[in-house]
Structure 1
């Protein structure tokens, strides 16, 4: 494999998206708009996909191998950190009322998709390749709880919008990466390509059909803040006026 601008752009968009989400959770000290189920599915996805980490030779001089290893570790550790923030430090801010679909449903769907494609390709061995394919299908489903949570809450913050845009863009650049590799290296991975296309369609559908129906939480917060300021100013003026009226005139004092 050779590096290309599409692969690098996709990797860094994905990495920055995760970093943005972590900083936002820590800054706001809230996980209200973050789906814990999506994070769990991402952790399972990357653990299944990167089982080869246990066989990595740190003394290897292959720059591509080291690059891939760094990102593999980053994806696993960062998503585990998000999981800790959600169910550890800020567990009281979780919106549990809108995540009702059992997580095993997503795992079973990914498992069925994996077995069906194994049957069509005459590949039936349960090994690292099997878990890698399972992770590809699971990643398609992993974002659905997050999008569903946003839809049910009917609000979305600017940070969450940027996060989803970067995730969707990362998949677009990965599609371009597969096309580039097919033309330059004659390497073709139909599962990764078509699954990436499905993920991209999911993001496009969300931003075209669902996003316009959502309220911008920041706008409503700013409006409420303005009302609070006006109310506070009026209250202060009323108190000052009342204090003025309560003070007796000096010639009335006996």
Structure 2
């Protein structure tokens, strides 16, 4: 067993588990792209359709079933149980273009022109573009997100380990899979942009039902190229805008109606001290 493939599969399953836990913990699916999760579900169905047709190993069957169940469980949570962020026209267009491009790619580039191989090539091509609607959602909205750094770390580990898996297979088995390598490089670049958007923009996040970490917003270079325009984002509330002394408080009272009278507090300097 290739250790990098095993660890990569574990990291991928861990990413799904972290996402599910985060949704349940926050009782919300805000900031998560339904389109991205639906595309992942389609990827797993297309790639692991053979799980019902042939048995390879217990490991192979267990992981394939886990991928499919976790993907549709997330979709169920987002569709029927917890609130999710509605996605704009750009995200839907990106998803449609990604589906069409993956279909065309699978017909042109495959190792054998049969149903199983075409679906496998389709799943590899589509997986490389699955994160694009999520990137667009993070760029275009200011809603809080339940995506965590642990989820990004698990996804990043999954891609890094699969890069090592390709190197391992080339060195030990002299095997190179051009379709998987090319699509994997594209997917890795998009994941890096996803991490850049998340960390540099520091989205307003949900943690335990509370809003935290509202900071300045930026955007990734791939999404900038895809969208071609700046996003209209709300400026976060700065700590400096909160009155901190008496002068600021008095300045804030200027906007009161003219019929409101301000009274100074009574001078109780000579009053007897209150009993203890």
Using structure 2 for the length normalisation, give the TM-score: 0.69
Richer in helix (by share): 1
Mapping of residues 12-27 of structure 1, within 5 Å: 12-27=10-25
Q: Work out which of the residue numbers 136, 141, 153 in structure 2 matches 1:148.
A: 136
- In structure 1, the residue matched to 2:103 is 111
Which runs of 5 or more residues in structure 2 are unaligned?
Answer: 215-238, 240-276
Distance, in Å, in 1 between the alignment partners of 2:213 and 2:129 is 36
Higher relative contact order (CA 8 A, sep 6+): 1
Question: In the superposition, relative to structure 1, how do residues 212 and 156 fare at CA in structure 2: closer, same or farther (>3 Å)?
Answer: farther
Mapping of residues 1-254 of structure 1, within 5 Å: 3-57=1-55, 65-90=57-82, 93-98=83-88, 100=90, 101-102=92-93, 103-118=95-110, 123=112, 125-154=113-142, 159-208=147-196, 211-217=199-205, 221-222=211-212
Distance, in Å, in 1 between the alignment partners of 2:212 and 2:188 is 32
Task: Count the aligned residue pairs.
Answer: 212
The alignment's C-alpha RMSD in Å is: 2.7
Distance, in Å, in 1 between the alignment partners of 2:198 and 2:73 is 29
Instruction: Verify the 8 A CA contact 1:6 1:173 in the aligned structure 2.
Output: yes
- Which secondary structure state, in structure 1, belongs to the residue aligned with residue 175 of structure 2? coil
Instruction: Verify the 8 A CA contact 1:6 1:177 in the aligned structure 2.
Output: yes
Which runs of 5 or more residues in structure 1 are unaligned?
Answer: 228-254
- Which secondary structure state, in structure 2, belongs to the residue aligned with residue 221 of structure 1? strand
Distance, in Å, in 1 between the alignment partners of 2:116 and 2:69 is 20
Distance, in Å, in 2 between the alignment partners of 1:36 and 1:199 is 18
Instruction: Verify the 8 A CA contact 2:33 2:87 in the aligned structure 1.
Output: no
Question: In the superposition, relative to structure 1, how do residues 31 and 215 fare at CA in structure 2: closer, same or farther (>3 Å)?
Answer: closer
Which deviations, in whole Å up to 9, do the C-alpha atoms of 1:198-237 show, x marking residues without a partner?
111112233346631334536983589xx9xxxxxxxxxx
Which deviations, in whole Å up to 9, do the C-alpha atoms of 1:127-164 show, x marking residues without a partner?
10010000000001111111221222246757433212
Distance, in Å, in 2 between the alignment partners of 1:56 and 1:162 is 35
Question: In the superposition, relative to structure 1, how do residues 110 and 166 fare at CA in structure 2: closer, same or farther (>3 Å)?
Answer: same
Instruction: Verify the 8 A CA contact 1:114 1:134 in the aligned structure 2.
Output: yes
- In structure 1, the residue matched to 2:231 is none
